[in-house]
Amino acid sequence: MTIPLITTKSEEIFAAAQKIMPGGVNSPVRAFKSVGGQPIVFDRVQGAYAWDVDGNQYIDYVGSWGPAICGHAHPEVINALKEALEKGTSFGAPCVLENVLAEMVIDAVPSVEMVRFVNSGTEACLSVLRLMRAFTGREKLIKFEGCYHGHGDMFLVKAGSGVATLGLPDSPGVPKAVTVSTLTAPYNDLEAVKQLFNENPGEIAGVILEPIVGNAGFIPPDGGFLEGLRVLTRENGALLVFDEVMTGFRIAYGGVQEKSGVTPDLTTLGKVIGGGLPVGAYGGRRDIMSMVAPAGPMYQAGTLSGNPLAMTAGIKTLELLQKPGTYEYLDKITKKLSSGLLQIAKETGHAACGGQISGMFGLFFTPGPVHNYEDAKKSDLAKFSRFHRGMLERGIYLAPSQFEAGFTSLAHTDEDIDKTLAAAREVMSSL
């Protein structure tokens, strides 16, 4: 751990990057805009750690935003990839690895009877919405404030930490005509959903949600919320879609749907199932999935979809996750981290709330409780920024936004958590 943090090379590279890529990045949150200060340019990752181009080492709680659940660059994943690489990087034709990963996903995720692989979570969510509309013959969609389902036009309404203007798209360039069919409700508010169904009878194709929110910070569903949505969607002839891009194979092997016992009609996946390579997937009931081309009329395609490298990394990652004790371990170390952070906040006089489930956690600088995005927005963002920078300076890499969940991995050790908590105590004592 280096104090002060020397980041000369990071600064040089990021300055050059800003001249040639918008904001210097290929995905906005990486630019550290919401916490301010200089982003860190990574050089390599291994296990629970990341090293920047200046040689600083960090305990990484971002994990490439979720995929690195077995730890970065797991030797078994890397070896499997090396072997697969020898056979070529892309086929654009059927390959048996697709069958293997598809069977693993179908076996694991309760709602999935058939699956289609794509290349990102965004693509999975775009495709699932088309499918919801194709299957029901209806156009309207209910999503929740603060939930992110990728950057498709019709999802860019109250999409997490983006600009939240009533009824308007979060981004210029998104036609109003596209988002008028996107209805929003506060997370954990069944009455609001009921009202939307009553106001739009026979018009709503379905409800999509993060069954545990990670894109407005970490927000779990209240007891009965998922069950209530299951009943409401059935009563109204609409589909229930769990976006498990973040939670799939993380909260439990079979995702939130396994843990909660609530089975949606359709599910989107990404992150973990690609083991660090670009993958997304959507799947669900056989009768619905049978509408997807070429089995049915709903068109969706992809040059690199089912790519052998991505399939290989996914298969190996899921194999590693199947080992006994995996999720118990994730839960144990993450609980230690989360309860430790809350305890330290309390002892150092900061109003904070948060929690964890399995290897996903969050900490808000607000007394809470946080049930939805409006509650999350009450957090002290300036304090979070100072906390983030202090932790970074002590070798702890946290998500650079109050409105992002944190992730642990099987590679994080008790000692890593102890170091993280010691750093948190120092930082919180000085905030």
Ligand X SMILES: Cc1ncc(COP(=O)(O)O)c(C=O)c1O
Secondary structure string (H, E, C) spanning 277-319: CCCEEEEECHHHHCCECCCCCECCCCCCCCCHHHHHHHHHHHH
Give the CA diameter of the chain: 61
| Residue 287 beta carbon to ligand X: minimum distance, rounded to whole angstroms | 24
β-pairing verdict for 266-269 and 396-397: unpaired
Phi, psi of 52 (to 5 degrees): -95, 175
The order of strands in the sheet holding 182-185 is 114-118, 280-284, 266-269, 239-243, 204-209, 140-144, 182-185
The contact set with ligand X (CB under 6 A) reads 65, 120-122, 125, 148-150, 210, 214-215, 243, 245-246, 270, 280
Residue 121 or 228: the one with the smaller Cβ distance to ligand X is: 121
Answer whether the bond into residue 294 is a cis peptide, omega within 30°.
Answer: yes
**Among the options 49, 58, 61, 148, which is catalytic?**
148
Residue 87 beta carbon to ligand X: minimum distance, rounded to whole angstroms: 25
How near is the Cβ of 348 to ligand X at its closest, in Å? 31
When the beta carbons of 213 and 330 are compared against ligand X, the nearer one is 213
The pair of structure tokens assigned to 392 is 């970074």
DSSP H stretches of helix in 42-189? 75-85, 96-108, 121-136, 176-179
Compare residues 150 and 390 and give the one whose CB is closer to ligand X: 150
**Toward ligand X, which CB reaches closer, 118 or 396?**
118
Q: How far is the CB of 403 from ligand X (least distance, A)?
A: 12
316 part of the active site? no
- Closest residue to ligand X, judged by C-beta, is 121
User: Is-catalytic flag, 58?
Assistant: no
CB of 74: closest distance to ligand X in angstroms? Answer: 20
197 vs 218, which CB is nearer to ligand X?
218
Q: Which helix (H) or strand (E) holds 346?
A: helix 326-347
Q: Are 195 and 233 in contact (CB under 8 A)?
A: no
**By the 8 A CB rule, do 93 and 310 touch?**
no
Rounded distance between C-alpha atoms, residue 52 and residue 9, angstroms: 9
Q: Which of 135, 111, 33 is nearest to 401 (CA)?
A: 33
Residue number with CB closer to ligand X (127 or 236)? 127
CB of 141 to ligand X, least distance (A): 14
Q: Are 402 and 365 in contact (CB under 8 A)?
A: yes
Residue whose tokens read 């194979």: 249
* Residue 212 and residue 360 in contact, taking contact as beta carbons nearer than 8 Å: yes
Q: Are 109 and 269 in contact (CB under 8 A)?
A: yes
Q: Which distant-in-sequence residues (6+ apart) come within 8 Å of 83 by Cβ?
A: 312
Residue number with CB closer to ligand X (47 or 280): 280
Q: Work out how close the CB of 147 gets to ligand X at its nearest, in angstroms, rounded to a whole number.
A: 7
Is 148 noted as a catalytic residue in this protein?
yes
Could you tell me how far CA 380 lies from the centroid of its own chain? 23
**Given the residues 54, 243, 265, 416, the one annotated as active site:** 243
CB of 274 to ligand X, least distance (A): 9
Quote the least distance from Cβ 244 to ligand X, whole Å: 7
In contact, 232 and 190? CB cutoff 8 Å: yes
Taking the least distance from each CB to ligand X, the nearer of 149 and 388 is: 149
Q: Cα angle vertex 339, ends 336, 343, to 5°?
A: 130
Nearer Cβ to ligand X, position 125 or 196? 125
* Rounded Cα distance, 149 and 139, in Å: 17
CB 372 within 8 A of CB 187: yes
Residues marked active site are found at 148, 243, 271
